[in-house]
Amino acid sequence: MAVYIIQSKLENLKAVRDWLGKTLLDFGVNPRTRHAIITATNEIVTNIIVHTYREDPGGKVGVEVDYQGNTVEIRICDFRPGFRINLKSSTDSESGFGLRIVKSLMDEFFHFHDEKGNNFVLRKHVPTRVRSR
C-alpha cells in the first residue's frame, strides 16, 4: 500500500499522476491499465480540489493505492468534515465527461461520506497474464 497527500492546488495534479504512475509500475501493472487508473484518479482529485475546496490551497487531498489479488484499489479522500460533495452535479457542471470517464475506465466506483470527509473508492481488475513492468 502507498499513500500520497497533496495540497488542494490544480498544479499538484501532475505530481499525483507521476506518483501514481510510478507506484503502479512498481506493482507491475500494465501500461494500459496504469493509464486508465491515472486518468480516473485525476478526475476525482480535480473534482475535490475544485468543488470541495474551491481551489483553496489550504485543503488537502489524500490518495491511497493498494494491489491485492488481481485488483488495484484507489482510495481518494478530502479532509472537510460536514461537506458532502454532490458527485453528479459537480462532475456534470462543465460537461459530464468526468464522471463518464471514471465509470467507463473503472470496474467499480463508489463514494461515501464519513466524519472525516468525502471518500471515493475506485477498483480496477488486472488480468494476471497482462501484468508487466
Partner 1 sequence: MTIQAQTIKDKNGNDVVLFKLFGDLDAFSSRDFKSLVIDFAEKGHSRYIVDLSGTPFIDSSGLVALISLLKRARMMGGYLRLVGVQEPIMEIFSITGLDRVFEFYDSVEKALNAD
**How many residues of this chain interact with partner 1, rule: CB under 8 A?**
23
Q: Which of 3, 14, 107, 116 binds partner 1 (CB under 8 A)?
A: 14
Q: Is 95 in the site for partner 1 (CB under 8 A)?
A: yes
Three cell numbers, residue 129: 497474464
Which residue in 100, 125, 130, 132 binds partner 1 (CB under 8 A)?
100
Binding mask 104-133 for partner 1 (x = CB under 8 A): xx----------------------------
Report how far apart, in Å, the C-alpha atoms of 65 and of each of 2, 20, 27, 86 are.
Answer: 5, 8, 10, 24
88 binds partner 1 (CB under 8 A): no
Q: Which of 4, 129, 111, 110 is nearest to 70 (CA)?
A: 129
Strand positions, DSSP E, 1-133: 2-7, 60-68, 71-78, 108-114, 117-125
Verify binding: residue 11, partner 1, rule CB under 8 A. Answer: yes
Q: Which residues bind partner 1 (CB under 8 A)?
A: 10-11, 13-14, 17, 32, 35, 38-39, 42-43, 46, 49-50, 91, 94-95, 97-98, 100-101, 104-105
